[in-house]
Amino acid sequence: MPTPTNENQSIRTAYWRENLTYLVVLLFVWFIVSYGCGILFVDQLNNFRIGGAKLGFWFAQQGSIYVFVGLIFIYVWLMNRLDKKYGFEE
Amino acid sequence: MTVQTWTFLIVGLTFALYIAIAIWARAGSTHEFYTAGGGVHPIANGMATAADWMSAASFISMAGIISFAGYDGSVYLMGWTGGYVLLALLLAPYLRKFGKFTVPDFIGDRYYSNTARTVAVVCAIVVSFTYVAGQMRGVGLVFSRFLEVEINTGVYIGTAIVFFYAIIGGMKGITYTQVAQYCVLIFAFMVPAIFISLNMTGEIIPQLGFIGEMSDGSGMSLLDKLDGLHRELGFEEYTNGTKSTIDVFAITFALMAGTAGLPHVIVRFFTVPKVKDARISAGWALLFIAILYTTAPAIAAFARTNLIDTMHNQPYSEMPEWFKKWEETGLIAFTDKNADGLITYGPGAMTDATTANEVYIDNDIMVLANPEIAGLPDWVIALVAAGALAAALSTAAGLLLVISTAISRDLMRMQVKPDMSEKEELWWARGGAAGAVIIAAYFGINPPGFVAATVALAFGLAAASFFPAIVLGIFDKRMNREGAISGMVIGILLMFGYMAVFKLGWFVDEVPPSSSWWFGISPEGFGTVAMMVNLVVAATVSRMTSPPPAAVQSIVEDIRIPKGAGAAIDH
């Protein structure tokens, strides 16, 4: 591997920072839909309904899983865009 | 045709298919044996990962467990899917870029230490064996229930099939068989679910039936009706939990971190060509898994309602045929405590004379007997058998590969005999797989008493050891050998010790009651605590010792940038 030049290094650092920002935001959503809606605030959310189900219960058994799937696909889209922006795509 | 004939036919056809694929996709090099040559399409890898992941327990037991646990069962649903978000965001792309064959490879190189590598090998083998024993047992059970052969004969047949395709095909054979097995298992899971959803709610999609109205004209939603039945019988409402919030939280987190740290799942992401593919294939994997995982709670609710309706306060003499049939296998049992000829169902154990409950129902029956309870055609029942076998075999094969690779590569090639030829290494890999299959079969036939307990242990161990070590290895450049090893060792010992005392009752007179759990956290959830301790120990120790060498720091820099992953590089 060639020694990274200073400029090269600062591009890498900037890329990594943006990557970390995405991770923090996406994992925040991940936490909220499962641990938030499904566990910590389940009783409060159960006062609302989605179809014939209590909302908190629905998040714990259905909703969180749908959001998880969505999160990964959003992550893939964001990262592909980021790779392109920094010229790291293959 | 009878159910039996249908079952022989469908199971036979699927087995022939798996063997044909194994012969077509046999491995010629270590590269193909370990990572299928690194050329698997992301969607195919997603399916293979889903089949690898969904075991006999996911297929047969999970819906049943949720059916009895209601809201408390959510820990499995969230835990076993949410882990994929961690895997996709924190592990898979970086490990793919790292470009080696196994998890101990990463640990050994990143922490420049054969001690770390050995700790990782031991964890990988322990975790995989505890898991694989359950799979072989599952194969035996399905055979015995559907084909009326001895459980042990079933284990032998299953062993022979896995033996054949894992050893010939390596990762390459396993990958393509798993794709086929995913198709079989998901079809087998969905068909009865759709039929039952139509029956009970008029919705063709079970996920909509789950939140839909009963089609009996009562205008009541399914879950409200179920809550009502539960109140009537004296159970906690279905949609309310009985576990404490902190325990639900801890169990869910331990399952998530454990899922992301299981070596047989991680290794699947070494098989795709690029970093980009590793990311997207995690997405496909979770999508394919989510189809089953969002259907399972629907099946659970349907089956629970159906069961209570069919059975409670009904005369025993008028029970349908399936009731008697499953009674013979011991999965249902009835004692008429008050001798009124009616079945009384309620909380508490049937064997406990102080409760009114007169029936025992095994968890597994919810999926296995569901088609019969709902009066579905014979071929659907046969399909469920084939699906359960596909789920068990695919997981077993993935685990066996981890064990064989740990032996041939992480021990033999990297530590004992670095100068052996590739051909020789391949023989070690095949020999390792053969040995592992035989030991797994032995455990399938003579299950150690602690098997059920050890599944939670497998997740707890993975959460307490691999997960923090890998995440820190990627995200903390300053993390060094001393920190990672002390974190892993203390994490594992703590998890193991807690499990031994609070789950198995070792070193104490009897298993301590839940009131004495630390922080109110059950052994199942303790992986979360052990993981936190691992993180704190690793961070503290690493800051007090010297930073990792420059070469290792540049590896860390390198895995953070996706460009140039190429094929997995040998040495």
The tens digit of pLDDT for each residue in B197-255 reads 998 899 999 999 999 998 887 888 999 999 999 998 889 899 998 889 999 999 999 99
> How far apart (Å, rounded) are the C-alpha atoms in residues B186 and B180?
10
pLDDT of the residue at B454: 64
| Residue-level pLDDT at B290 | 97
The residue of chain B with its CA nearest to that of A10 is B557
Contact B563 A88 (CB under 8 A): yes
Q: Is the pLDDT of residue B316 over 60?
A: yes
CA distance A50 to chain B (A): 7
Burial grade of B256 (CB within 10 A; 0-12, 13-18, 19 or more):
buried
pLDDT at B38 over 80: no
Å between B354 CA and nearest CA of chain A: 32
Q: In chain B, how many H helices and how many E strands?
A: 25, 2
- Chain B neighbors of A71, CB-CB under 8 A: 85
Q: Which domains does chain B have, with CATH numbers?
A: 3-35+45-65+79-306+374-559 (1.20.1730.10)
**Confidence band (pLDDT; 50, 70, 90) for B451?**
low
Q: Using CB atoms and an 8 Å cut-off, which of residues 445-504 of chain B contact chain A?
A: none
pLDDT score of B570 more than 50: no
Using the predicted structure, report yes or no on whether residue B3 has a pLDDT greater than 70. yes
Min Cα separation B38/chain A (Å): 15
Average pLDDT over residues B424-431: 85
Task: Give me B283's structure tokens.
Answer: 């997405």
| Mean confidence (pLDDT) of chain A | 91
Q: Measured between CB atoms, which of A4, A34, A50 is closest to B82?
A: A34
Q: What one-letter code names the amino acid at B223?
A: L
Percent of chain B exceeding pLDDT 70 equals 97
| Facing residue for A73 by CB, picked from B208, B275, B283 | B283
> Does the pLDDT at position B449 exceed 80?
no
Task: Say whether pLDDT at A65 is over 90.
Answer: yes
Closest chain B residue to the Cα of A63, Cα to Cα: B294
* Whether A60 and B74 lie within 8 Å, measured CB to CB: yes
Tell me, what's the pLDDT at B567?
Answer: 46
Q: Which of B54, B62, B71 to mutate to test the interface with A (most CBs of A within 10 A)?
A: B71
Among left, alpha and beta (phi > 0; psi -120 to 50; other), residue B99 is left
B77 with A61: Cβ contact below 8 A: yes
For B223, which residue in chain A has the nearest alpha carbon? A53
Chain B's closest residue to A64, CA to CA, is B78
Q: Is B228 on the interface with A (CB under 8 A)?
A: no
Backbone angles phi, psi at B168, to 5 degrees: -70, -45
Rg, chain B, Cα only: 24
B290: chain A residues, CB-CB within 8 Å = 65-66, 68-69
Q: What's the pTM?
A: 0.91
Give the model's confidence band at B423: pLDDT under 50 very low, under 70 low, under 90 confident, else very high: confident
pLDDT of residue A5: 59
Minimum-distance CB partner of A62 among B82, B89, B207? B207
**Selected residue of B45, B58, B78 to mutate for chain A interface (largest A Cβ count, 10 A):** B78
Residues B491 and B533: beta-carbon distance below 8 Å: yes
Q: Is the Cβ of B90 closer than 8 Å to some Cβ of chain A? A: yes
Could you give the C-alpha distances from B307 to B207, B231, B339, B355, B370, in angstroms and in order? 20, 15, 21, 20, 9
Contacts for A27 with CB less than 8 Å, ≥ 6 apart: B85, B89
Nearest CA in chain B to A77: B280
Which one is predicted more confidently, B152 or B534?
B534
Burial pattern B162-178, b for ≥16 Cβ within 10 A else e, equals bbbbbbbbbbbbbbbbb
Q: Is the pLDDT of residue B284 over 90?
A: yes
pLDDT at position B496 over 60 = yes
Q: What is the predicted pLDDT for the residue at B521? A: 92
Q: Which carries the bigger pLDDT value, residue B142 or residue B475? A: B475
Q: How far is A10 from chain B (nearest CA, A)?
A: 12
Q: Would you state the pLDDT for residue B252?
A: 95
- Minimum CA–CA partner of B286 in chain A: A69
From residue A89, how far is each of A84, B13, B274 by CA, in Å? 5, 43, 10
B373-391 pLDDT, tens digit each = 777 888 888 898 899 888 8
B180-194, B248-262, B510-524, B540-554: segment of lowest average pLDDT: B510-524
Whether the per-residue pLDDT at B177 is higher than 70: the answer is yes
Question: Using a CB-CB distance cutoff of 8 angstroms, which residues of chain A are in contact with residue B222?
Answer: 52
Beta carbons of A12 and B557 less than 8 Å apart:
yes
Lowest mean pLDDT among A75-79, B5-9, B25-29, B92-96: B25-29
Interface of B with A in 292-331 (CB under 8 A): 293-294, 297
- Averaged pLDDT for residues B470-498: 93
CA distance A64 to A58: 8
**Interface size between A and B, measured as CB pairs under 8 A:** 139
Q: Which span out of A27-41, B14-28, B36-50, B269-283 was modeled with the highest average pLDDT?
A: A27-41
Chain A contact for B239, CB < 8 A? yes
| Res. B77: pLDDT tops 60 | yes
Q: What is the pLDDT of residue B428?
A: 86
